Chain A
């Protein structure tokens, strides 16, 4: 079947670095996306990896290893506004399958 696993909750301190992992299982894989969703808001696109390696966009980076069926989102210099849920989503067989999301709690 097709599935993604990510931790349900991660806690970090303001100014620190946090990594949110995502493992996936599928028969046809084309890419891994990351989206941010604040409480009561809509998901917003953060990054997309189609190939192995690291993609960097400001304070956010995303990594993909296709051989390990694994990716992660790295958030640096955490700010209180980064408190949100983060979803990985895999592009598989022309449909986007979403993980259940990781709630990031940031403490001052």
Chain B
């Protein structure tokens, strides 16, 4: 029962470094999402995808990039990391684009120093 798997779980980056957060799902969902969650706050949508080859910006896309070459994979790339990108990142997937039953990965804790 894998569901949504994201790696790494923890990472410390230096300012200006780049990295990719990996995300894969085995439920054959068309919709995939990347969220960030700052302490004590709700989730903010970074990017989303409605299917392979299609991606779109969410509320807070600046400093990030995504790709969706397959239905299963939706990696998030951070270019030129900044302290403001210190956050918990969640990948998620769903059958449709309503709020009805979104499945989340376990989260990736990222610190930029």
Say whether B105 contacts A48, CB under 8 Å.
no
Q: Does A33 contact B (CB under 8 A)?
A: yes
Chain A residues within an 8 Å CB radius of B59: 95
Partner of A43, one of B40, B43, B58, B100: B43
User: A98 vs B46: C-alpha distance in the bound complex, in angstroms?
Assistant: 13
Chain A residues within an 8 Å CB radius of B97: 91, 94
User: A103 vs B42: C-alpha distance in the bound complex, in angstroms?
Assistant: 11
Say whether B99 contacts A89, CB under 8 Å.
yes
B56 to chain A, nearest CB (A): 10
Q: Does A75 contact B (CB under 8 A)?
A: no
User: A35 vs B105: C-alpha distance in the bound complex, in angstroms?
Assistant: 14
Chain A residues within an 8 Å CB radius of B101: 45, 48
Say whether A31 contacts B43, CB under 8 Å.
no
Q: Does A90 contact B (CB under 8 A)?
A: yes
For B6, give the chain A residue with the smallest CB separation: A42
Q: Give the total of B residues in contact with A, Cβ under 8 Å.
A: 21
The answer to whether residues A99 and B42 also contact, given A42-B106, A42-B107, A43-B90 and a CB cut-off of 8 A, is yes
Q: Does B74 contact A (CB under 8 A)?
A: no
Fill in one digit per residue for B80-96: 1 if any A CB lies within 8 Å of its CB, else 0.
00000000001000000
A102 to chain B, nearest CB (A): 10
Chain A residues within an 8 Å CB radius of B107: 41-42
The answer to whether residues A91 and B99 also contact, given A42-B104, A43-B104, A44-B104 and a CB cut-off of 8 A, is yes
Say whether A30 contacts B98, CB under 8 Å.
yes
Q: A42-B107, A48-B99, A91-B98 are in contact. List 17 more A-B contacts (CB 8 A).
A: A30-B98, A33-B99, A41-B107, A42-B105, A43-B43, A43-B90, A45-B100, A45-B101, A45-B103, A48-B101, A50-B98, A87-B42, A91-B100, A95-B48, A96-B45, A96-B99, A101-B41
List 24 A–B pairs whose Cβ atoms lie within 8 Å, in order of A's numbering: A31-B100, A33-B98, A35-B102, A42-B90, A42-B106, A42-B107, A43-B104, A44-B104, A45-B103, A48-B99, A48-B101, A50-B98, A50-B100, A87-B43, A90-B99, A91-B97, A91-B98, A91-B99, A96-B102, A98-B42, A98-B43, A99-B42, A101-B41, A101-B42
